[in-house]
Amino acid sequence: MTSPAIGIHDLAVATTSRVVDLDDLAARTGVDPAKFHVGLGQDQMSIPGPDEDIVTMGAAAAQRIIERHGVEGIRTLFFATETGIDQSRAAGVHVHELLGLPRTVRVVELKQACYSATAALQSAAGLIARNPDERVLVIASDVARYEVDTAAEPTQGAGAVAFLVTADPALAVLETAAGVHTAEVDDFWRPNDSMTAVVDGKLSISAYLDGIAGAWDDYASRGGAPIAEIDYFCHHQPFTKMAVKAHRALGQHVGVELDPELVLATTGYNRRIGNSYTASLYIALAALLEGDRDLAGARIGMFSYGSGSVSEFFSLVVQDGYRAVTRAAETEALLAGRDRVDIDAYRALHALGSRDSNVDVDIPGESAVPFHFAGISGRARRYTRS
- Give pLDDT tens digits for 93-148: 999 999 999 999 999 999 999 999 999 999 999 999 999 999 999 999 999 999 99
Give the pLDDT of residue 193.
82
Give the pLDDT of residue 60.
98
Packed helices 240-254 and 201-221: angle between N→C axes, nearest 10 degrees? 50
Longest dimension (CA), the chain: 64
**46: β partners:** 19
Cβ-in-10-Å burial (0-12, 13-18, 19+) of 139 comes to buried
One-letter amino acid of 223? G
Are 203 and 149 found together in one domain?
Answer: no
Q: What is the end-to-end Cα distance of the chain in Å, rounded?
A: 47
Of 295, 323, 351, the domain-final residue: 323
Q: Which residues fall within 8 angstroms of residue 307, CB to CB, at 6 or more apart?
A: 113, 114, 185, 187, 188, 189, 204, 207
Of 323, 341, 371, the domain-final residue: 323
Q: How confident is the model at residue 369 (pLDDT cuts 50, 70, 90)?
A: very high
Mean pLDDT of the chain: 95
Residue 188 lies in a domain: yes
pTM (two decimals): 0.96
Are 92 and 16 found together in one domain?
Answer: yes
- The whole-angstrom distance between residue 60's C-alpha and the CA centroid of its chain comes to 14
Q: Which of 49, 34, 38, 86 is nearest to 371 (CA)?
A: 49
Give the pLDDT of residue 199.
80
Neighbours of 341 (CB within 10 A): 19
Are 123 and 188 found together in one domain?
Answer: no
- Total domain count for the chain? 2
- In contact, 50 and 248? CB cutoff 8 Å: no
Whether residue 270 is predicted with pLDDT greater than 90 in this model: the reply is: yes
CATH number at residue 307: 3.40.47.10
What is the residue range of 217's domain? 173-323
Q: pLDDT digit string (tens) for 46-96?
A: 999 999 999 999 999 999 999 999 999 999 999 999 999 999 999 999 999
Are 285 and 313 found together in one domain?
Answer: yes
Are 318 and 330 found together in one domain?
Answer: no
Task: Tell me the binding residues for (3S)-3-hydroxy-3-methylglutaryl-CoA.
Answer: 32, 146, 245, 275
Whether residue 1 is predicted with pLDDT greater than 60 in this model: the reply is: no
Give the pLDDT of residue 192.
85
Residue 68 lies in a domain: yes
Are 53 and 79 found together in one domain?
Answer: yes
Residue 56 lies in a domain: yes
Share of the chain above pLDDT 90, in %: 90
Packed helices 91-99 and 54-69: angle between N→C axes, nearest 10 degrees? 40
Catalytic residue numbers? 82, 114, 236
Neighbours of 89 (CB within 10 A): 14
